[in-house]
Structure 1
Amino acid sequence: MDHDTAYEGLTPAARAAYLARIGVPEPGEPSAQALARLQRAHLGSVPFENLSIHLGEPVVLDPAALVAKVVDRRRGGFCYELNGAFAELLRSLGYRVGLLAGRVFDGERPGPPFDHLALRVDLDEPWLVDVGFGRFSLLPLRLDERGPQSDPQGTFTVVPYGAHGQLDVLMNGEPQYRLDPLPYPLADFGPTCWWQSTSPDSHFTRSTTCSLLAEDGGRTTLSGSRLIRTAPDGARTERQLTDAEALTAYREHFGITLDRLPGLSGRAGGGAE
């Protein structure tokens, strides 16, 4: 993509290439059913990964750059990148999309504002769409529904918090993140994205992770040099890899071809397993 010209959204050719990347034919008119197919396909095709941080690659919050990384370079990313790119695909398909700022819970306390980027998609009702949070719902969640919502990954609940319209999203009763109801432009996520990518206090700088949803609903994760298979019931198997085996695993399990392993900080483990 040409970064010297003004970005005006995906061209028809770029949209077709993105749909091919996630293995979905042209979905037709926007609908809740089509949105669910797109989300599930994205989760099973584009890995959650933080490898750019450990390869010395800049994380650029520019729509064209995000789409190019996912589609042309056949990489993944973390929340700002994955949901930022997916928003561009959805908009090109006629969906009304807003970028929501989330605060990820660490135990009982939420993190800082803009800690997470999720999507609000408005059809006949608003939906929460998220392809950038690792283990989370496979299907869109109803933002206005206050009862439990069943998903292949568990039971999700959207709970109002405070007097300013914030929403807590719970998975199996455990809070995952707190959403600000107002949409923000992508650029507003830049400062926290930079912190997440550079601060020694960020868990993204402490270890490498690359994780992808499996067809059966489990996950395959390369955490440092540990290859982890998590079954749908939560059972785990792990195997320590050599450097050569890790490079092969990136290619065979995630479709990512690297000429070198990410930095040594990736040996510690961690991530979206």
Structure 2
Amino acid sequence: MATLMLVNCSNCRTPLQLPPGARSIRCALCHAVTNVADPRSVPPPSSAPQPHSSSAPPPANLPSPYQQPPPPSSHGRKRAVICGISYRYSRHELKGCINDAKCMRYLLINKFSFPPDSILMLTEEETDPYRIPTKHNLRMALYWLVQGCQPGDSLLFHYSGHGSRQRNYNGDEVDGYDETLCPLDFETQGMIVDDEINATIVRPLPHGVKLHAIIDACHSGTVLDLPFLCRMNRIGSRTHFGHAVRMYSHILSIPLLF
């Protein structure tokens, strides 16, 4: 499996997560392009044994595997990716998605004190070609969202546009389908699958980072591929369901053991 590499922006020093195989990356904040040398050209760390010093202090006691890390700070950094796609002049055109994105940006800045420069907007109205909601740009935005996040940080991903699904072939979906997001160029470049979204913005999160995802699209209930679903009725009562196939089989097997 390819390993993701973190590099600092050559201009603003923001940590950037380099996709596998990429030799350069453009910063979503300052737009500077950072070129990266071939990682294979970097010599591996020496494997020679280090000399042992008899005066070295004894190793500290290792923490228990059940010991919880310290609670995160309640005031961390804030960062958001907001994507609104109207698919103008196509048979898939939607009304209101760009307005949704603008309203969300206004809400984050004026209600939740997000710094304006910490919000990355992707809509067809953007003049920067790197902020048009193509598949490549949306992928890069999701990478940027989680780069360098630390305990206490608050992240938000808002998407308003088309969603769909496609046949799942690895057996990790209860209904046999992967949920997808449809970027502006999905008819030529393809959709973004829930497995990729989970691997990009869910699994890399360290303990103590909070991520809110607001997905206004068809088939969006499981588009982050989380292990549980939460359904709320009209009176506010919540019910949690296992979503992954192996979790369903485990839950269903419990009554058979008694």
Taking structure 1 as the reference length, the TM-score comes to: 0.24
Taking structure 2 as the reference length, the TM-score comes to: 0.25
Q: Highest relative contact order (Cα 8 Å, sep 6+), 1 or 2?
A: 1
